[in-house]
């Protein structure tokens, strides 16, 4: 089978596992406080980014006269 002009069969290569030994030493290397800090930091960055986008959309809608007035 040929997909995008790339044959499906080729030479067999030995593959390197990128996950080898990672989980064994992960908890000893960083510890759970560092992992928790990363989780909270990424969560805060996501919430902050969403707040910025919402604020910009609100400014654009207000400048165009699109307000949520009483019906």
pTM assigned to the model: 0.52
Q: What is the CA radius of gyration of the chain?
A: 25
Give the domain ranges of the chain.
26-64
- Residue listed under structure tokens 């707040």: 51
Calpha distance 31→25 (Å, rounded): 10
Q: Which residues on adjacent β-strands are paired with residue 2?
A: 7
Could you read off the pLDDT of 12-48 as tens digits, one per residue? 666 666 665 555 555 565 578 888 999 999 999 999 9
Q: How far is CA 52 from CA 12, 27, 44, in A?
A: 49, 34, 12
**In this predicted model, what pLDDT tens digit does every residue of 41-70 receive, in sequence order?**
999 999 999 999 999 999 999 999 887 665
Using an 8 Å Cβ cutoff, are 33 and 27 in contact? Answer: no
């Amino acid at each position: 089978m040929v997909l995008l002009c790339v044959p499906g069969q080729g030479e067999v290569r030995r593959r390197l596992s990128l996950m080898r030994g990672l989980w064994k030493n992960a908890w000893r290397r960083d510890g759970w406080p560092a992992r928790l800090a990363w989780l909270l930091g990424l969560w805060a960055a996501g919430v902050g980014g969403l707040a910025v986008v919402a604020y910009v959309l609100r400014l654009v809608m207000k400048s165009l006269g699109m307000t949520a007035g009483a019906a």
